[in-house]
Every structure is written in structure tokens, then in C-alpha cells.
Structure 1
Amino acid sequence: MKSIKHIDVSNKKVLVRVDFNVPLTKTQKIKDDFRIKAHLNTIKYLKEKNAKIILISHLGDPKKRDENFSLNPVASRLESLLSSKVKFVEEVNSKRVEELVENLKQGDVLLLENLRFYKGEKENSEEFASSIAEFADIFVQDAFSVCHRNHASIASLPKFLNSYTGLLLEKEINAIERAIKETQKPFVVLIGGAKIETKTAVLKNFLKKADAVLLGGEIANTILKCKGIYGDKKVEDKDILNALKGINFNHPKLIVPIDGVLYKKEYTRIAGIETIKEEEEVGDIGPETINYYKRIIKKARTIIWNGPLGKSEEEVFSKGTEEIANAIVNQKAYSVIGGGETIDFVNRKDIKGFSFISGGGGAMLDYISGKTLPGLEALNKKYEEN
């Protein structure tokens, strides 16, 4: 892969894949602009180098055109952050887009509409990718967070344009590489949240490399069920059971919650996991688990964290994630955190001091576990061709 820092972009039409998949309110107000701010260095660099900048992104997962997922609010916020005009067009590959691109001046920024309004994006249609590529001279991949997706703007666009890495993508890879290749021991990993099937491969990988793997959230609940200490509840989903094959649930490095905030509709209670009743669920890790995890974190020199340790979007179940987040920051170890829910939580709670916050959740885990990321593979192939 080759960086945009090594090429002349002056007066070139530069198509940049960004990740502006920001959380919105029901009235299309941006709740957290972290993902927009993350790309500012790349955009500002291209402006300073007199490029004509065309930005493309997805937002949410609409099945068709839906104004609730328009990128128009993002254009307004980006304009405010850049303190300069950002043009927006409610299309991606039309005559109107072509006209706007042709009229761009050096340093201008144009944001196209949500890529997922077009079925060709998720279908990885080369025809769709080509229809966007024809407006530009150069392609820049700056969205590490989506590089694990086999979508047109990620895996196919580099086939049609000379392609380069953006500043954010380089920063993401360098930070993660440092964590996995220059690891200082003890090395502690925290994995929470849901999406269990996507996290089992990285869990297996970390059990080989890390000194301790601390679990929370739905993945912890699933492992507890497999260990037979989540009441009488069992894992019945065949896909999850297949994904869990090969994991030693009694591995000494695999650390699961001792207690939790148990709940049903009308109440919550703090108790040992083994006391859970048929109608109850675990909403958060409990105080004993928090203190146990803190003792392990206090010894760590390298920390990777992905996913909240409970239903952290609800205040009553946010204590565990908040205390562990603060423990990581206070430890002053080299810490890399990632995942949309994790980022939303630490920003909402204004917890600062992590060494690096990765915009990628699934992409970060896939990269760490050694999987091939389609977006990076496409860039590498293009570089080898040139």
C-alpha cells in the first residue's frame, strides 16, 4: 500500500472513502461526531495540497433510499468543523454529480449521498464501483473501520483507479500493529458486547497471546451458559455453537464475571451469576467482578478493549463499563479501544486518556485475528500492479 503523502494530488479529483456512520437522533441530529472528526486530518491535508475532494460514505443500513439516513446533516457538521464550504449532492452516480465534480476548484469538498441507498454497494457491484470511479483521478481509502466489508466502495473501487491510503487508515493500522507486534507484558484483553460469531476467532487468537482475556456483555453470558453456571439456560443457536468450537471454556486465561446486575422487568439485584433465575438476565458485571477485573488491569502494560461489558446504553447497567474504562485510563498502559458502542460510551461519559481509539470494531478484531480485510487486500493488489 502507498500513502497519499507520497503522491502529487494538486488539481487532482480525489475520491475518498470515509466512514461518516454517525449516530443520529430521531430528528436527524448528530449525537456524536467522533467519526467525522477522525477524518479531518486527511481532508485538511488534501485541501492544503490543492486537491479537489469527493467524499463517499454510508450511514446506517437502509435497504433503499430513506431520508432518515441522508448524509446531509453530516455535510453541515463537516462544514462547521472545517470552517469552509462543503457541497452536498443527494446522489452518487448521476449527471448532476458529474457536473458538480467538473466545477470543483482546488481545495473544494463535495460529499455524495449515502452509498447504501444503492443496492450495488452491498452487492459489491463492479458496475456500481465503476460508475463512481469515473468522476475521479485517484482513490483514497481512509476508512479502516469498514475495510472488513466486501462492498463496492471498499473492495472494487481500487480496481478502477490508482489507489492510496489516507492518513487515518495509516494511523489506525500503526496503532493496532504496535499493540500486537510490540506488546509489553502483561497483555490484557477485554471483549464485550454482542455479535458473538464475529468475536470468537479473535477470542481464540488472544487466548494464545494474551495473559488474560476478560469478558463482559453478551459474549460473557454465552460462555457462562456453556460453562453451566448461568442457571439452567443453554446456548441453542447452532451458528453460535459452531463459532464456539475449539474454545476451552475452562482455560485459565479466560476470565468471566463472578457476579452481575441481574434483572427482570420490575427489578434489578446484584448477586452471583450462579444464582440467576429462569426469568432473569444479566445486565452488567457486578462489584466483585469489577474489583477482580481492576486488579488484573492494574498489572497490565498493554490493553486492548472492544465492546461494553453490559447493556451500557441504559444508565442502570453502565457502572461496570464506566469503572473498567476509568481503570484502563488510570493504568497508563498502552491501550487501544474500538467498536462503535465502546466509542459512543466513552465519549458520552467523557472518559479520556486512552492511547488510541480505533473507529473500527469488526475491522479491528478481524485484523488482529489475522483475517484478510477486503479493503486492505484491494489496496495491496493495486499497489502490486503498479
Structure 2
Amino acid sequence: MTSFKTLDDGDFNGKRVLVRVDLNVPMDKGVVSDATRIERIVPTVRELTRLHAKVILLAHFGRPKGERKAEDSLKPIVKPLAKALDRPVAFAEDCIGEAAKAAVDMLAPGEILLLENTRYHKGEEKNDPAFAAALAELGDAYVNDAFSAAHRAHASTEGIARLLPAYAGRTMQAELEALEAALGKPKRPVVAIVGGAKVSTKIDVLEHLCQKVDALVIGGGMANTFLAAQGVGVGKSLCEHDLADTANRIMQKAEAAKCAIVLPVDAVVAWHFAAGAPSQAYGLDAIPADGMILDVGPQSIERIHAVIDDAHTLLWNGPLGAFEIAPFDKATVAAARHAAARTKAGKLVSVAGGGDTVSALNHAGVADQLTYVSTAGGAFLEWMEGKDLPGVAALMTA
């Protein structure tokens, strides 16, 4: 990976430091219902305050599309943010112009200011040079700590990084280093587990990974599409029969790249999708025509464990079954705990990401036991597709 500057490379004493963070947190009746993204920015912000920087936070919230909408204000985030940082956080009613400038001028070294939603201005999502310049006027340096927004070429993620000395924050740094360890210069063998409902949402991911990893485990509803493409009857299971040619093309690419495709060898079948619904494991040659595959079976779990045991590096995106409802969470939980145990034993570098993946790992109780778990969603998927991320590219120094 090309090099990038971190907080170790800057002199922030007394400087106005614009820090792009992700505060797009879920809200319930005006209250933050999950503070994970707030907690992730704490290390960078605290470090900058210890370095006597004037910390100015840039963030978006919701999709106001250039209009000031009360429900998309960042003001309700101030209190939980101050609580997480254990220090006061000031707030400016705008992110550019006189209101922002006046608030910045009031800052003393070591103090923190949150600017209003950058998406209140149409220039943000258009990456308008004039808007980027207006943001840059408020700072002496720029720190990007929002990998989750790095796949967007917006003014606060890409444009401003071209105008000020730019650095990666600690969360961004950890993410980039984890991704480098997973696919950039990994310790082989490398295994990827890719699950989820539909092949159609992850065609680019699968086509990229099958040329990068040594083994690709496919689970979830998308495995049914691959099985059906091979002539396996999948009953009434979720299956994109029209993507049979796509599945076969991916398998051919994998074979050419000497990447082993690992599909289920048995399946857990139920007749209706509900918690505690009667279910049974079947071999692939005996899937009932009126049944639905909702998880991989016990033999498949053992096979996945063996693949993980052979790996030095694991990349995971997507559950193996309908993990939201027991007992169809069994395979996902078992594989997650197995990967966590191998990681704890120092035998595996494990990197996971994506919304459903994070939820599944939390459900298994091991989200904090893998090497790195990304909360970046779309940016993580685009990285898995092999795409350049504008917010990351803008930080690169060579």
C-alpha cells in the first residue's frame, strides 16, 4: 500500500485541525441508539487535544441534500459526544461562513468544536472546489478518521485533503493497516468467507476476491444460487436462478486463479421462516422440494472450520445463514467463535466488515475478539471489490 501520514507525522500544537469523523449514528426519538461510531473517534480526538490542537469536527448526518432540515442536525450528537470524550464540546450552527469562523475563533488549544452537518450544503456531495476551500479556511491541517465515508469523493472527504496538510486519524490508520494485512500483503493461505442473501449484490466482490485469495467460502442465500447452477435442487429457498451463468463464470475464474470455492455440502431446511421453526439437516441430494435452506448443515460447519484452520489470514463479509433467527444462527456463530479462538491463539489474522457481519459477530459474542472489525459498510464493500477509495487516495503521499 502507498504510504500515508498519520498523527505521528504532524505538529498540531496550537493548530486548528479539521477532523472528518463519522457521526451518522442511528437515532430513536432524538436519542442515539448505538454509539459505536462515536466511540470509534475517541482515540483520535483525545490524542489531538493532548497535543494542544484546536479540534474542529466535520461530519454529515442523514441525507438532507443541501437543505437545512431540523431532523438532520448534528446538534443532538453534542451531548453523547461530550460524554464519550469526557470533556465539553462546543457547537457551531453552520460548517462554513461567519457562524463557523466565529466558533473556531473562540477555541483555545485542547478544546473541541462540532460543526453543523456538511450536507446542509449542496457543495459537499458535489465536491465543489469553492465549498472545499470554505471548509479549508477554518483549519491549518486536516485529519480524516472516517473510513466509512472514504468511498465518496465529497468536499469534506476528498476535496479538502488536497488543500491542507492531510493525515490519517487513528481509526482510519487502523482500518488501512488491517486491510493491508488482509489483502495487500497478507500472510498466506488467505481465506475469505462471503455470505448474505443475494449474489447480485456481491458479484464484484466475488469476482475480485476469487483472484486474490486461496479459498473462498460462500454461504447464506447466495450459496443456493451457486448450488442451483451446479444442478442441485434447492426447493423453495431464496435463489437467483437467473444468475446461474454468473455463478458459473465466477467458479471458472476461481479455478483459473487456483482459488478453491467452498460451498455447503449439506443444509438445514425448514418449511417456514420463524424462530424455533422445526428444521432438519439434509444432504444436498435430498433437499425437500417444499423446504427452504436457512443455514448450512453440520458437515459444512466442520468443513468451514477445517478451511479456517488451514488459513493464516481470514477476510469475512456476510453471515452463513439466517442468523437473526434461531436455530438458523448455528453455523455463523460456530464459525465466528472458531475464528475468534484461532485469532486468540495467535494463529490467524482475522478481518471482518459489513453491517450484517458486525451484527452477526456481536450476536456470536466475538466482535471484539477478531483482529479487526470494520463498521464501514459501503466503503468496506467497495474495498473488497478492488475499487480505489477517493478519501483514502487523497491521503496518499507516494
TM-score, L = length of structure 2: 0.81
TM-superposition CA deviations, 1:320-374 (whole Å, max 9, x none): 3222211110122111111233223333553232112223344334435542211
Alpha-carbon distance in structure 1 between the residues aligned to 2:337 and 2:328: 16
How many positions carry a matched residue from both structures?
378
Alignment partner of 1:344 is 2:347: no
Cross-structure match for 2:215: 212
For 2:101, the equivalent position in structure 1 comes to 98
Structure 1, unmatched stretches of 5+, are none
How far 1:270 sits from its partner (Å)?
Answer: 3.7
Residue aligning to 1:310: 321
Q: Distance in 1 between matches of 2:325 and 2:62?
A: 21
Match of residue 17 from structure 2: 14
Letter of the 1:46 partner, please give it: L
Counterpart residue number, 2:34 = 32
In percent, how many aligned pairs have the same letter? 35
Name the structure 2 match of 1:47: 49
Q: Which residue of 2 aligns with 1:161?
A: 164
- Indicate if the aligned counterparts of 2:199 and 2:240 stay in contact, CA closer than 8 A: no
**Contact map agreement 2:333 2:363 (CA 8 A) in 1:** no
Once the two structures are superposed, the pairs formed by residues 1-386 of structure 1 within 5 Å of their partners are 1-24=4-27, 26-61=28-63, 65-193=68-196, 196=199, 199-229=202-232, 230-231=234-235, 235=240, 246-248=249-251, 251=255, 253-257=260-264, 258-262=266-270, 264=272, 269-272=279-282, 275=287, 277=289, 282-314=293-325, 317-332=328-343, 333-351=348-366, 352-380=368-396, 383=397
Deviation at 1:42, TM superposition (A): 1.1
Change (3 A) 1:241 1:295: closer
Root-mean-square deviation (CA, aligned residues, Å) is 3.2
**Alpha-carbon contact 1:140-1:163 (below 8 Å) kept:** yes
Separation of aligned partners in 1, 2:293 and 2:207: 24
- For each residue in 1:105-133, what CA deviation from the matched residue of structure 2 results, as whole angstroms up to 9, or x when unmatched? 11111122333444433333333333322
Q: Distance in 2 between matches of 1:366 and 1:326?
A: 26
For residues 250-284 of structure 1, what are the alpha-carbon distances to aligned partners after superposition, in whole Å with 9 as ceiling and x for unaligned? 85711223314545457563444673657x65444
2:91 and 2:103 in contact (8 A); partners too: no
Do the aligned residues in 2 keep the contact of 1:13 with 1:54 (CA within 8 Å)? Answer: yes
- Contact kept? 2:225, 2:240, Cα under 8 Å: yes
Rate the CA distance shift 1:223–1:98 in 2: closer, same or farther, 3 A.
Answer: farther
Deviations 1:60-114 (A, max 9, x none): 4455655555434433222112210112345333432222111111111112233
Q: 1:75, 1:59 → 2: CA distance? A: 13
CA distance in 1, matches of 2:249, 2:211: 12
Q: Is the 8 A contact 1:75 1:86 kept in 2?
A: yes
TM-score, L = length of structure 1: 0.84
Distance 1:195 1:166 in 2: 34
